[in-house]
Amino acid sequence: MLRALLCMLCFVLLSACSKPEYQGSDISGASLGGDFALMDHKGKARTLADFKGKVVVMFFGYTHCPDVCPTTMIELKNAMQQLGSKADQVQVLFVSVDPDRDTQQVLNQYVPVFDSRFLGLTGNATQLAEVAGRYKIIYQKQMSSSGDYTVDHSAGSYLLDKSGKPRVMVSYGAGAGVFVHDLTLLLNE
């Protein structure tokens, strides 16, 4: 009996010391991320430091995206609803990879439709390329014969801890439940 209790106590203590089990990919310690200086959809200059103390979700996309971007934004909207009052400790950042079309005004019409707390970020092509490079985001215009274009882009979302360090990458289509699970772990740190 004493042996069983000691084993159970050891198990509890060891599990308390282990790393959290994210459902997304654990990228703690990866050489990516960092500060940025972009404009939000309300016209305010933003840096990563503005969100210190909050868990940040960074998603790179564009407003004319036919599938990946609205799907991810809906998953994030649903995750925020499921988090309830904890959602106020999370900041979702939609970073445009289409500075030609995604002006402040366009982002202001698009991003708040999903959740009024979400922020759309944009800048000039050089600024966006620099931020995307820091987060290992790949994007490229694909021109059509009509002269219109789409933008192929990396589709994962980064979860940054309260100090701004990238900790989790959530793959496209993972679902709101994965965001809720991993955001909750980060919020509880």
Detail the residues annotated as belonging to a binding site for Cu cation. Answer: 65, 69, 153
Q: Residue 77 in contact with residue 114, Cβ under 8 Å?
A: yes
Exposed / middle / buried, residue 86 (Cβ in 10 Å: 0-12, 13-18, 19+): middle
Adjacent-strand bridge partners of 39: 45, 122
* Angle 45-179-71 from CA coordinates, rounded to 5°: 75
Tokens of 4: 């069983």
Q: Residue 43 in contact with residue 106, Cβ under 8 Å?
A: no
Q: Is 180 helix (H, G, I), strand (E, B) or coil?
A: helix
Adjacent-strand bridge partners of 93: 58, 119
Adjacent-strand bridge partners of 158: 58, 169
> How many contiguous H segments (helices) and E segments (strands) does the chain have?
5, 10
Please give the annotated binding residues, written as ranges. 65, 69, 153
